[in-house]
Amino acid sequence: MSSRAREFLDRWELEHLGVVPEDRKLRELIQLAVSCRKDAVAAGISAEELRTAAAQDLIRDMLAAIATANRSDASAGEATGQIGGVA
């Protein structure tokens, strides 16, 4: 696997993924995956390199990153007494 592709994907997910409501998750994931692929190509990373970096499943990789963001947001809300950014 190209470490450059994995670094790109990690950075891209950090910059573009966040909390996504359950009712919009699939639609958002598809749009994000398309955007990520376009950005990867523009950065000189092939579709095959990106697929390998995502363990052959970009949607599943992004789903895991969003799940982590959702858990982090929920934990932060509990710590501050806020849920979803609302007091």
Q: Mutual orientation of helices 25-42 and 58-80 as an angle, nearest 10°?
A: 120
Tokens 């958002």 map to which residue? 28
pTM: 0.75
Flag whether pLDDT at 86 surpasses 50. no
pLDDT digits (tens, 9 = 90+) for 8-18: 999 999 999 87
pLDDT digits (tens, 9 = 90+) for 32-59: 999 999 999 999 999 999 999 999 999 9
The letter for the amino acid at 83 is: I
Residue 86's SS3 state is strand
- Alpha-carbon distances of 45 from 4, 39, 52, 61, 81, rounded to whole Å: 8, 9, 11, 17, 42
Q: Where are the domains of the chain?
A: 3-80
